[in-house]
Structure 1
Amino acid sequence: MPSVMAAQYGEDRRIADSGGPTLAGNAVERPPGGRVNGVPTDRVSSAARGWVERYRQWAFDVAAVAIAALDVWLRVVPEAETYNYVLSAVAVVAVALRRRFPFLVVLVTAPGFLAGWAQLAAMIALGTLARRRLLSTQTFIGAGLVWFSRFFTWPPSEFVELDWKTHVHNAIYGCLVAGMPIAIGLLAHAREELSARIAELAVSRERERMLHAHAVRADERARLAREMHDVVSHQVSLIAMQAGALRMAAEDPNARRVAGTIRTLSTRTLDELRQLVSVLRTTNGNDSPQPRVEDLPQLVATAGFPISLAVHGEVASLPAPVSGAVYRTVQEALTNVRKHAAGAPTGVLVVVDRDELRAEIRNDPPHHRQETGTLPGGGHGLMGLRERAALLNGDFAAAPTEDGGYLVRVTFPVTRSLDT
């Protein structure tokens, strides 16, 4: 008997596994690589999958009706009354409608079980009701009807003649006959829900994997863009500045032409770098070696215009992220001086107290502007410096001065940066 019931309710579990309707009639998104009727789902259209599901439901409905009819045919008694045949036949036919009207089909099959031979028909209907409605009031009513149909012996005259032991025996078997379909229906429901959750988990994991891959690529692109702007842009802008000065000072036409070509290429490179750096700028740390405050003298010496550098305090023991951020801030500020102030005299001051580091880069207004044109800029430099300061719990400020110059100031809490 359990194998027969499992065959009836297994259809719904297989429908769920093949991507069919799930609880509350909602379709579950199937993970990549699923299969329908042995064919990958990515090769089966939605209409084809729906046709396969309908075909399976129709096939299992036919099988359920056939099994219920066979059960009646094997148990029929020749000397029975006409209503016994009618009630049994109605119960068998009603099994085909159990999906659409589960509770009504239980009500129709119960008389065929009570006064006929449609036991399997009633059990199949009760199992479908339990799978669709779970432990609802309708399920308990259906279970009571099936139990009573097994406990009560028809006609009533025969029921009265039975002794109490037979009644107890029939009551126990009635619990089994009514309980087994409910257990199988609940098991089918749990299996269907589990399949839906597994499918959702697979889709969620695939989505999470894709998002993680995108995040990793975005982080690498942002880090690369930062280094391109901080290092490459600094060097190329210096080349462009020197080439422009050479073009103005050279007397040889060939030398002036070559210097102009170098400056044109450098300017074009800076413009392309500006476009490449227009990505989300963020970082979670930097594992590559970074310059420190101790490297500022070398940076100042190669700047190409008058710079005064003053460093006060112990800088050798600064945390690497803070020291590198100060270097990058000075580097970017000097690059902006080349671009926008034509090499105006600039002062760099770095002061380290016990728990704070302050760096200031102040340039004077240019006394004359060289005829070297304007280098392109996208505004990403100061934005990157502000992001670096925020990541280290620091403060960044940049604004023109009253005398026409420009001041860049950044402060870092050294103690808090060490704990970061």
Structure 2
Amino acid sequence: MTPRRLPPPLLDAALVVVALLDVWVNLDTHEPLRLAFALAAAFSLFLRRRLPLLTFLLTLPAVLLSDAIFAALAALFTLASLTRRRTLLAVCALVFTISDMTSWPSPNFDLSNTSTLITLGYTAATAAAPVFLGQLVQARRDLSLRLAQISEARDHERLLTAQTVLAVERAQLAREMHDVVSHQVSLIAVRAGALQVDARDAEVKEAAATIRRLSVQTLDELRHMVSVLRASGGRPTELTPQPSLADLHRLVESSGIEAELQTDLTDGLPPTVQRAIYRTVQEGLTNVRKHAPGATATVRIRQEGGAVRVTVTNTAPNRPALPLPSAHYGLIGLRQRAALLGGTVTSGPMADGGYELRLELPAMGTP
């Protein structure tokens, strides 16, 4: 767990307090000039983040006139952690060393004395310590920034890889849809057209015409979906216009079964709610056509208070259903769509042998 850092204002205040303690230990109140410069150096630490070089210069008189050097060391550390000008840091460290070695107003800087050289070495090391520490903090900050950039680049590369894989899968799916599904739907449309021409019975002609019309419509939608899938990685391709409540009458009339639509809704509902209603009715009528041959269906759509209720019911079939493949993905998709809008989808057989599909949604499409 990463330790929590002190807020910058609190840390600056703590440094000022330590600098004041340094002044209290090393200075006497009977030396007003030295005390004034030392106090100015201590309080100048509040400027160290915004004006690090000026702060260091303001602390130098205290170093020159007294032994209160903590403020100058703190200012030198801050300057080293914020600047990349190493020549400037070397000059500042040298100035600090000379100022600390000089006893003002009577300087005594005799390099011929061994003790002076030793003191000079210790003082230079004292000046170099905050410089190196500040540079280390700066390097650590740069390294953290670099690691963050590398992590961001890696995440972006991972996203691009995933998008590439998805594009390949979509292209493969587009090929399968074009080569298999579209081909078979085209054959259905051709055979239905031939049946429409050759048949003599009116009902057979009508059924063949309906099959042909639905096949052509399905083929158009499949071709558009193929173009959407193949456009992955390029400019976004707009989907076909999404259905609304205005399309329900045409859906019921072209369903190929005897169905009645009862609704009092207007087009004022959100588009997502309208699409959910349309897809529910579409799935219900498709299931009636597949699994209840000869049955009649009733579609009821009502808005009660803040909820919309849709029911698709059918009577019992009057002849056996063809064994068509079904994985119930349609109902699963309806439930997922309804759940996203805060609603529910239920379905099940009725007592008279029929079947009911029910959708309940908030009118605004939110939970």
- The answer, yes or no, to whether TM exceeds 0.5 is yes
The equivalent residue for 1:144 is 94
The one-letter code sitting in structure 1 at the alignment partner of 2:134 is: G
Runs of 4 or more off by more than 6 Å in structure 1? none
* Residue aligning to 1:217: 166
- 1:269 — aligned with what? 218
Q: 1:18-167 counterparts in 2 under 5 A?
A: 56-77=7-28, 81-156=31-106, 159=109, 164-167=113-116
Measured against aligned partners, the alpha-carbon deviations of 1:198-233 in whole angstroms (never above 9, x if no partner) come to: 222233333333333233222212210121011111
Could you tell me which of 111, 114, 135 is aligned with 1:186? 135
Distance 2:109 2:139 in 1: 38
Q: Any conservation in 1 of the 2:80–2:89 contact (CA below 8 Å)?
A: yes
- Superposed, 1:374-385 pairs within 5 Å as none
What percent identity do the matched residue pairs reach? 41
Question: CA offset at residue 274 of structure 1?
Answer: 1.4
Identify which of 239, 251, 257 aligns with 2:200: 251
* Alignment partner, residue 235 of structure 1: 184
The Cα RMSD (Å) is 2.7
Distance 1:271 1:282, change over 3 A: closer
Identify unmatched segments of 5+ residues in structure 1.
1-33, 39-52, 284-420
> 2:119 & 2:217 partners in 1: Cα distance?
95
> Relative to 1, partners in 2 of residues 1:58 and 1:131: Cα closer, same or farther, differing over 3 Å?
same
- Describe the SS at the equivalent of 2:227: coil
Measure, in 2, the Cα distance between the counterparts of 1:280 and 1:270.
15
Per-residue CA deviation, residues 227-252 of structure 1 (Å, 9 max, x unaligned), is: 10111111111121121111111122
State the AA in 2 paired with 1:229. H
Change (3 A) 1:169 1:60: same
Q: TM-score, normalised by structure 1?
A: 0.51
Residue ranges of structure 2 left out of the alignment (5+ in a row): 233-367
Q: Deviations over 1:337-363 (max 9, x none)?
A: xxxxxxxxxxxxxxxxxxxxxxxxxxx
Contact 1:151 1:173 in 2 (8 A): no
Displacement after TM superposition at 1:259 (Å): 1.7
Whole-angstrom CA distance in 2 between matches of 1:238 and 1:157: 107
Q: Corresponding residue for 1:202?
A: 151
8 Å contact kept, 2:23–2:35: no
In the TM superposition, residue 255 of structure 1 has moved relative to its aligned partner by 2.3
Task: Assess if the C-alpha contact under 8 Å between 2:26 and 2:66 holds in 1.
Answer: no
Report how many aligned residue pairs link the two structures: 232
TM value normalised by structure 2: 0.58
Closer, same or farther: CA 223–282 of 1 in aligned 2, 3 Å: farther
